[in-house]
Amino acid sequence: MGATFVYDFAQGNKDLSHLLGGKGANLAEMTNLGLPVPPGFTITTEACRAYLADGDLPPGLPGEIDAHLAALESTMERRLGDPADPLLVSVRSGAPFSMPGMMETVLNVGLTDASVAGLAAQAGGDADAHRFAWDSYRRLIQMFGRTVCDVPADAFDEPAHDLDADGLRALVAAYQRIFEEHTGRGFPQDPREQLDLAVRAVFRSWNAERAVLYRRQERIADDLGTAVNIVAMVFGNLGEDSGTGVAFTRDPATGRAGAYGDYLPDAQGEDVVAGIRNTLTLDDLRERDPDSYARLTGIMSILEGHYRDLCDIEFTIERGRLWMLQTRVGKRTAAAAFVIAAQLVDEGVIDLDEALARVSGAQLGRLMFPTFDLAGAPPPMATGTAAAPGAAVGEAVFDPHRAAAAAARARDVILVRRETTPDDLPGMIAARGILTSRGGKTSHAAVVARGMGRTCVCGAEALRVAADHLTVGDQVINEGDVIAIDGSTGAVYAGAVPVRESDVARALVDGGESADPVVVAVRRLLAHADARRRLGVRANADTGPDADRARQLGAEGIGLCRTEHMFLGERRTLVERLVLAVDDDVRASVLAELLPLQRDDFAGILRAMDGLPVTIRLLDPPLHEFLPSLEDLAVRVAVAAERGGRDGHDAELLAAVRRMHEQNPMLGLRGVRLGLVVPGLFAMQVRAVAEAAASLAAAGGHPRPEIMVPLVGAVQELEAVRAEVTDVLRLVAKETGVEVDAAIGTMIEVPRAALTAGDIAGAAEFFSFGTNDLTQMGWGFSRDDVEASFFTKYLDLGIFGVSPFESIDRDGVGRLIRIAVDEGRAARPDLHIGVCGEHGGDPDSIHFFHEVGVDYVSCSPFRVPVARLEAGRAAV
Ligand code: ADP
Ligand code: MG
Ligand code: MG
């Protein structure tokens, strides 16, 4: 017995989406719920994988299709394409993960020159029935030609909406000629051949360029394959009492409760999504056809209750009879995700843990993006539907390929189209925002933009969009002119508009009362995440004001205070003198000048974080980073010599810079190595910390500094520094009479440190993973070089799915981290362990750090809420 490749709708259920695709699994689920789904069956993703591997249908599949088709024919009491009374079907793609509009569907399969008359007879045989039959046939030739036989989409002109039966019959003849011109064969007249060719085409569409691109964007695996659904046709194009629509059980843009949707009378399904005609609302439907409306909203609440989430649906009304053609848990904006999760908790449908699972750090990050500052904005030149939020400013570009090319030249682009199709995908990915003049919240542009987190305004009908410019009234926007679009209000502006902090970000910083439902929902879920999470969240901050803001955003300390910026600006001359110092006395006097400056810096941060730990990293970068560049100095010295003068200081400095020049500075004299080579440098920094802490403590504060040594690879390095640090701390305690307890620890960022963590823990009270350097040295990737030079190639080749600098490489660098955590803790059970690389703010990495037992993550202040949320999600 081979595998079963075909399932009747009655045999499947919603949990089989890997095998039946999302569409097939949910059609089965609705069938079993007793909802009105046209009968049909699903060919599995497994059959697709076999077809793509072998280039032919797997043995056994044709026979199974025969059997299921025969069963469908007997249920419907019609035979596929029967000239007298034809059964028609749709052949629909449906992958395990939703890929809206990326793959193919063919409607009206079974229509031929012979059966078109039978269809007209079925529909009543009058003039309208003939019109309907010929309209359905021309749609088949068009869709079949385009998707099955690669006839270019624009080869077929769209017909006028008011063509009569004769006009449509003539159009069918014209379409058939076009079909033959492009394919070298007549339009297939055997219904079963149509079906088989369509099935193969749907299988192949899995590997269409745009589908591959979409999967890469959305990180969907390439080897899943698509299922194919064969569904008995129902007709929305049978006149004014028929129609088709798309609806959501809640508003997918704002999350507001209550059904939301678009409806088109006398149309077939793809017309709505294509945005070809402007749609009616569900309220309009209620007026036109109250019975269908009532049935529809009843079914929508059944579906919500069943899936316990926002559902989107596709439906068709055939002469007053409602049919369900698709449902799934619907995509939504970030704001809607938070609002809906909180609503469902209030409605008693889910608990807070589940609500937490239904939102993500990436969504919260999006909500914290800046928005337009409307105070200085001109009135909008047009307003469309606010389809996907964000404030995007960029050059208007009217073609997806030109948009991609401009973005590749680092231009900010707004892709402007009448409507988008899947062919626009490269441009949509490259653009900051997408603007269309047609279609609603359910149009292709809106759905794809929401999925990708792009800003989108659609259906701005006042815009007349041409191939390389647009006009609104007498205003013209040419390609390259800057425009701004507001995906939260739908406003479109000519020219740039200043941006400001988002409401969510502002509310989280100032902590004041807010009635904004998004703010309320975000706060509620963040509070629950805080209650649930095991990981602490600290911030990376180098200044008092940054530390303040981090604390307001919920940081529980500073995980990384870099001291290098304290050596910049006017202090550069001090660093120069430090480098040039020939003897210990000169060096000591320079360090003595630096001391009070550093002390003030540390006092500011310790004060902002009073009562919370502040991890201060001793100087890390190579000293020559603070000096003028070799080239500049050489030129200066040469110019001075030319003029007959001689700048003794510059010449001396040049010699020093030459002496210190390194081929690989990131692997050179930096971090702990510098501290061991430049006498007194680390001691001065530690003294500054200790004195700042002592004076704060004397004034009644609770400073909690931690001293962190960078770039340690061997315990001996740490022991040497540790001895010096302890001496300074003891000395300052004696001088000030204030005992300040400062933990001494190290970064783990050199692979050797991770591998000898057991030894290093002997001299360290805490570890903090510097995951940037650990990744850099673990892979041997120079971070400043590789991202531009070959990472795109590596991503294309699938060597990794995401840059290891963005998301922690669990298998390699992650293994080093596991070893260091386990062996460090084995040697010192109370070892405190944190992460201070940029991975500390990355959702995926946070889940990994939770798993391996790290105590806290530290990230930039703005990412702190994201990290809190993800740490909570990792724990539920
Ligand atoms: P997509 O995945 O791009 O949404 P679908 O397979 O859902 O493609 O089909 C495209 C359109 O055709 C949808 O609007 C759908 O509702 C409609 N459709 C599909 N099958 C049928 C059918 N058997 N009868 C009527 N309309 C259909
Ligand atoms: Mg669909
Ligand atoms: Mg480092």
Over 50: is that where the pLDDT of 555 sits?
yes
Residue 646 — very low, low, confident or very high, per pLDDT cuts 50/70/90?
Answer: low
Instruction: State the closest ligand 1 atom to the C-alpha of 272, by its place in the atom list counted from 1.
Output: 14
pLDDT tens-digit map of 826-875: 999 999 999 998 899 999 999 999 999 999 999 988 899 999 999 999 99
CA of 200 from ligand 1 middle (Å) equals: 18
CA of 4 from ligand 2 middle (Å) equals: 25
Q: What is the rounded average pLDDT of the residues 670-682? A: 94
The answer, yes or no, to whether any atom of ligand 1 lies below 6 A from the CB of 97, is: no
Q: What is the rounded average pLDDT of the residues 6-11? A: 97
pLDDT tens-digit map of 332-350: 999 999 999 999 999 999 9
**Range in 58-62, 412-416, 421-425, 820-824 with the lowest mean pLDDT:** 421-425
Integer CA distances (angstroms), 422 to 209, 415, 449, in order: 10, 14, 12
Over 90: is that where the pLDDT of 747 sits?
yes
∠ CA 325-329-333, nearest 5°, is 120
pLDDT at 647: 67
Q: Which of 248, 575, 278, 288 is nearest to 438 (CA)?
A: 278
Give the list of residues 6+ apart from residue 21 with CB closer than 8 angstroms, or none: 42, 45, 93, 94, 95, 96, 226, 227, 229
The answer, yes or no, to whether any atom of ligand 1 lies below 6 A from the CB of 107, is: yes
Over 90: is that where the pLDDT of 643 sits?
no
In the chain, the percentage of residues whose pLDDT exceeds 90 is: 75
State the span(s) of the chain assigned CATH 3.30.470.20. 243-329
Contact 861, 560 (CB under 8 A): no
Over 60: is that where the pLDDT of 355 sits?
yes
Task: Place domain 6-232 in its CATH homologous superfamily.
Answer: ATP-grasp fold, A domain (3.30.1490.20)
As a whole number, the mean pLDDT across the chain is: 92
More confident residue, 781 or 389: 781
Q: What are phi and psi of 78, to 5 degrees?
A: -150, 150
Q: What is the rounded average pLDDT of the residues 4-11? A: 97
444 is catalytic: yes
Q: Give the burial class of 167: count Cβ atoms within 10 A of its Cβ; 0-12 exposed, 13-18 middle, 19 or more buried.
A: middle
Residue 469, beta-bridge partner list: 478
Residue 222, beta-bridge partner list: none
Contact 47, 57 (CB under 8 A): yes
**Protein fold of 533-622+662-875:** TIM Barrel (3.20.20)
Over 90: is that where the pLDDT of 495 sits?
yes
The answer, yes or no, to whether any atom of ligand 1 lies below 6 A from the CB of 448, is: no
The answer, yes or no, to whether any atom of ligand 1 lies below 6 A from the CB of 312, is: no
pLDDT at 276: 66
pLDDT at 219: 76
The answer, yes or no, to whether any atom of ligand 1 lies below 6 A from the CB of 625, is: no
State the span(s) of the chain assigned CATH 3.20.20.60. 533-622+662-875
Over 60: is that where the pLDDT of 631 sits?
yes
CA of 666 from ligand 3 middle (Å) equals: 9
Q: What are phi and psi of 465, to 5 degrees?
A: -95, 120
CA of 828 from ligand 3 middle (Å) equals: 23
Rounded CA separation 756/176 (Å): 74
Instruction: State the closest ligand 1 atom to the C-alpha of 246, by its place in the atom list counted from 1.
Output: 14
Q: If residue 596 lies in a helix (H) or strand (E), which one and from where to where?
A: helix 584-608
pLDDT at 275: 63
State the span(s) of the chain assigned CATH 3.50.30.10. 369-500
The answer, yes or no, to whether any atom of ligand 1 lies below 6 A from the CB of 92, is: yes
- Which residue in the list 311, 458, 836, 859 is annotated as catalytic? 836
Token pair, residue 93, equals 């793609």
The answer, yes or no, to whether any atom of ligand 1 lies below 6 A from the CB of 613, is: no
pLDDT at 582: 79
Q: Is the pTM of this model over 0.90?
A: no
Q: What is the rounded average pLDDT of the residues 623-629? A: 81
Q: What is the rounded average pLDDT of the residues 482-493? A: 93
Strand order in the sheet with 257-265: 280-281, 257-265, 243-250, 311-318, 321-329
Instruction: Give the 3-state secondary structure of residue 660.
Output: helix
Rounded CA separation 682/595 (Å): 11
Over 50: is that where the pLDDT of 396 sits?
yes
Q: Report residues near ion ligand 2: CB below 5 Å.
A: 314, 326
Q: What is the rounded average pLDDT of the residues 404-408? A: 91
Residue 787 — very low, low, confident or very high, per pLDDT cuts 50/70/90?
Answer: low
Q: Which of 100, 220, 408, 97 is nearest to 801 (CA)?
A: 220
Which CATH number is 369-500 given?
A: 3.50.30.10
Q: What is the rounded average pLDDT of the residues 751-769? A: 98
In the chain, the percentage of residues whose pLDDT exceeds 70 is: 98
CA of 52 from ligand 2 middle (Å) equals: 23
- Which residue in the list 68, 444, 847, 850 is annotated as catalytic? 444
Instruction: State the closest ligand 1 atom to the C-alpha of 102, by its place in the atom list counted from 1.
Output: 3
Instruction: Give the 3-state secondary structure of residue 242.
Output: coil
**Range in 100-104, 315-319, 514-518 with the lowest mean pLDDT:** 100-104
Instruction: State the closest ligand 1 atom to the C-alpha of 92, by its place in the atom list counted from 1.
Output: 6
pLDDT tens-digit map of 253-284: 999 999 999 999 999 887 876 666 778 999 99
Ligand nearest to the CA of 262: 1
Contact 558, 614 (CB under 8 A): yes
Rounded CA separation 800/49 (Å): 23
Rounded CA separation 270/275 (Å): 9
Q: If residue 500 lies in a helix (H) or strand (E), which one and from where to where?
A: strand 499-500
Correct CATH for 243-329 of 1.10.10.10, 3.30.470.20, 3.40.50.2300, 3.40.50.300: 3.30.470.20
CA-closest residue to ligand 1 atom 22:
233
Instruction: State the closest ligand 1 atom to the C-alpha of 315, by its place in the atom list counted from 1.
Output: 16
pLDDT tens-digit map of 138-156: 999 999 999 999 999 889 9
Residue 15 — very low, low, confident or very high, per pLDDT cuts 50/70/90?
Answer: very high
pLDDT at 694: 97
565 is catalytic: no
CA of 149 from ligand 2 middle (Å) equals: 21
CA of 89 from ligand 1 middle (Å) equals: 10
Over 80: is that where the pLDDT of 644 sits?
no
Rounded CA separation 709/701 (Å): 25
**Range in 66-70, 459-463, 727-731, 732-736 with the lowest mean pLDDT:** 459-463
Q: What are phi and psi of 240, to 5 degrees?
A: -70, -15
pLDDT at 1: 47
pLDDT at 215: 85
